[in-house]
Structure 1
């Protein structure tokens, strides 16, 4: 979290939020990268409180995210329910010095965090099945009354590449801009494009052995369904073989994608043309992550692991390569 935001998120602010939601005074901090996340308690029952600064999201954006979550929950997707505040609101606003903090309250997801040791064909199939179901049901979603539609992928602040990429990285910037141009040329149809989570990696769900329970819909936007497949593939490969060779990554990616798509196809159909865009979206994730690191992690705060990741990303961007090489022939996937 930026220092300017941390200064304004005081103990008094937290207490005011807890009082408004009639929560117990004890809590546990879970994260603070783009939002503050806390495990909180209401009469001893664990729930999840998320606090967002107005520099990150507007109230309208948050309300639209929660409207879609409520829709998906109503369709039987395994995601945490949204709790209304005692005032009957999905989002409560709290004024700070010269800005606003927004609070939302969620059910705590069942299951357990996923580690690399938990990776298996069974998990990958379940992961694909839930993703496919989300894609299928979102085709019928219409925002509720007075709900502002979520933005499209190209409205992402991180795509202001000229602003976030270091000035000396001219080669990476030029290559990245070409990839974004290529994505922008893709056709948008109801069967290829819709409202997506956009970040269903293993850190954004819990697993109970039978299904996954997805959370953190903060980055939800209208994007290509193939991107929602590329993201799990990207992060799973990176987690399993962070320091691995290209051959190790390629072998893992083949097994992951085979199992994931088996599950996905139980719920939704994606054309061969759409599937063949997955490498393009792997490149897009590199491009956006390079902007994230430039925006969020100053050079002096980068440890060896982070620097290794940044260096690999930059090299791939400049070479116009994806994190893995995929043969997406119809007879193989």
Structure 2
């Protein structure tokens, strides 16, 4: 989390949100604070997830649109969290910070299952197939979704502020900036229809779901936006390769990528037909994720906090962007 936001996020703000959702004010556990503050909270000994977002990251209307879509997917049988109302009957609550900005909060059900590390035995073809099945089901259902709020919509993919790379990356990274703009122009020319483009999660890596041994349960819809469905195929592949194949050579990475995709696509097609031209689009969306990851790492992690592993990752991503190469 940026240091300016950290300075505003006080115990009193957390307490106000716990109060308005009738959660235990003394018993809670912080789970994360990269782009949002995420807590496991409790009411009558039952666990919930409280997510707090600063207004510099998301507008109130954006969060409202997100949680409505998540509830819609939940109601259609997609394995995603249920969203709970506050004591005031709201699905998004707000509290003002001392500088006049706002924090927004929503409460979700806690996903069943457990997190699976990329090095775990369970990170295998059975999981990859379940991964594809879950995303295929989500894509099938999102085609029929209509936002109910006239003033609350999720952004289009190219409204993502991280794509303004010149705002975050070093000035010396001129080729990164040039190649990013060229890639965005190429993507903007891709055709759109309801079977290839819609509201999607955009960030379903292994850190954003739990696995119960049979199904995956997806959470963290903070980055959801209107995008090509093929991007939701590219992102699982991207992160599986990024973290599983850190030290692998090109042949090993290619072999694992094929293993992953074969199982993932088998599961996906059980629930939804593959989007037209997904194979042509896949390398483009893999390159796009390099851009957004490169940008967010510079935005969120101060120079003094970057360890050698992170610096190596930044170097590898930069090289791919400059060479117009994808990770697979």
TM-score, scaled to structure 2: 0.97
- In the alignment, the residues of structure 2 paired with residue 216 and residue 138 of structure 1 have an alpha-carbon distance, to the nearest angstrom, of 17
- Matching residue of 1:68: 69
- In the alignment, the residues of structure 2 paired with residue 176 and residue 246 of structure 1 have an alpha-carbon distance, to the nearest angstrom, of 24
- Matching residue of 1:176: 180
Contact map agreement 2:131 2:267 (CA 8 A) in 1:
yes
- Matching residue of 1:92: 93
- Matching residue of 1:249: 253
Question: Where do 1:227-306 residues align within 5 Å?
Answer: 227-306=231-310
Secondary structure of 1:47's counterpart equals strand
- In the alignment, the residues of structure 1 paired with residue 203 and residue 274 of structure 2 have an alpha-carbon distance, to the nearest angstrom, of 19
The answer to which of 268-277 and 224-233 deviates more is: 268-277
- Matching residue of 2:49: 48
Secondary structure of 1:94's counterpart equals strand
- In the alignment, the residues of structure 2 paired with residue 270 and residue 137 of structure 1 have an alpha-carbon distance, to the nearest angstrom, of 14
Change (3 A) 1:161 1:145: closer
Q: Quick check: 1:194 aligned with 2:195?
A: no
- TM-superposed deviation, 1:275: 2.6
- In the alignment, the residues of structure 2 paired with residue 78 and residue 171 of structure 1 have an alpha-carbon distance, to the nearest angstrom, of 41
- TM-superposed deviation, 1:20: 1.4
Contact map agreement 2:65 2:149 (CA 8 A) in 1:
no
1:106-130 deviations in Å (ceiling 9; x for gaps): 1000000111112111110110011
- Matching residue of 1:79: 80
- Matching residue of 2:28: 27
Contact map agreement 2:84 2:91 (CA 8 A) in 1:
yes
Secondary structure of 1:101's counterpart equals strand
- Matching residue of 1:103: 105
- TM-superposed deviation, 1:174: 1.2
The answer to which of 18-27 and 75-84 deviates more is: 18-27
Contact map agreement 1:31 1:38 (CA 8 A) in 2:
yes
- TM-superposed deviation, 1:240: 0.8
- In the alignment, the residues of structure 1 paired with residue 149 and residue 215 of structure 2 have an alpha-carbon distance, to the nearest angstrom, of 32
- TM-superposed deviation, 1:243: 2.1
- TM-superposed deviation, 1:298: 2.1
- In the alignment, the residues of structure 1 paired with residue 151 and residue 176 of structure 2 have an alpha-carbon distance, to the nearest angstrom, of 38
Secondary structure of 1:38's counterpart equals strand
Q: Quick check: 1:160 aligned with 2:164?
A: yes
How many pairs does the alignment contain?
324
- TM-superposed deviation, 1:7: 1.3
| Structure 1 gap segments, 5+ residues each | 325-333
Q: Over aligned residues, Cα RMSD in angstroms?
A: 1.0
TM-score, scaled to structure 1: 0.95
Contact map agreement 1:27 1:39 (CA 8 A) in 2:
yes
Contact map agreement 2:229 2:275 (CA 8 A) in 1:
no
- In the alignment, the residues of structure 2 paired with residue 272 and residue 102 of structure 1 have an alpha-carbon distance, to the nearest angstrom, of 38
- In the alignment, the residues of structure 1 paired with residue 279 and residue 72 of structure 2 have an alpha-carbon distance, to the nearest angstrom, of 26
